[in-house]
Amino acid sequence: MSAPLFLIVEDNAINLELARDLLELEGFQVLSARDAVEGCRLARQCQPDLILMDISLPGMDGLAATRQLKGDPATAGIPVVALTAHAMRGDEPAALLAGCDGYLSKPINTRAFAGTLRAWLKPQTKSPQPSLVNTL
């Protein structure tokens, strides 16, 4: 069985590198995109097991990208976890309304990051769902 494939959509180079390094240390495969358009293209092309989506992106934001992905039968089943450094009141409900399966706020807790994301990987049979909000 191959390692799960994560797609990180993040425009901040430091945050992208940190998330990539943490996931690769856990043995996951990682793709990355610097904007939502590229992220949506990679999601369709590569069918990752999970998408980590920054909310604040240049051009199309992460919530618009999530709505697009969840509206496409080819990508609708891929879990999307919103990631934001600007955790403000209303961000969590907006992320969930856009179709995100979860919500994480920055800064990243390096000890819990991979384990928290692992909870959103398929198959998710009738086991309890992870908390929708986590502070990493």
| Structure confidence by residue, pLDDT tens digits, 88-102 | 566 777 888 899 998
Give the mean pLDDT of 18-42: 95
pLDDT at 126 over 80: no
Bridge partners (DSSP) listed for residue 135:
105
Question: Which CATH number does 5-135 carry?
Answer: 3.40.50.2300
Higher pLDDT, 129 or 10: 10
Element (H, E) at 8: strand 5-9
Classified as helix, coil or strand, 30 is: strand
| Structure confidence by residue, pLDDT tens digits, 53-78 | 999 899 999 999 999 999 999 999 99
Q: What is the model's pTM? A: 0.85
The domain locations on the chain are 5-135
Lowest mean pLDDT among 24-33, 48-57, 73-82, 94-103: 94-103
pLDDT at 1 over 80: no
Quote the radius of gyration of the chain (alpha carbons, Å): 13
Contact partners, residue 50, CB within 8 Å, separation at least 6: 4, 6, 7, 78, 79, 80, 81, 117, 120, 121
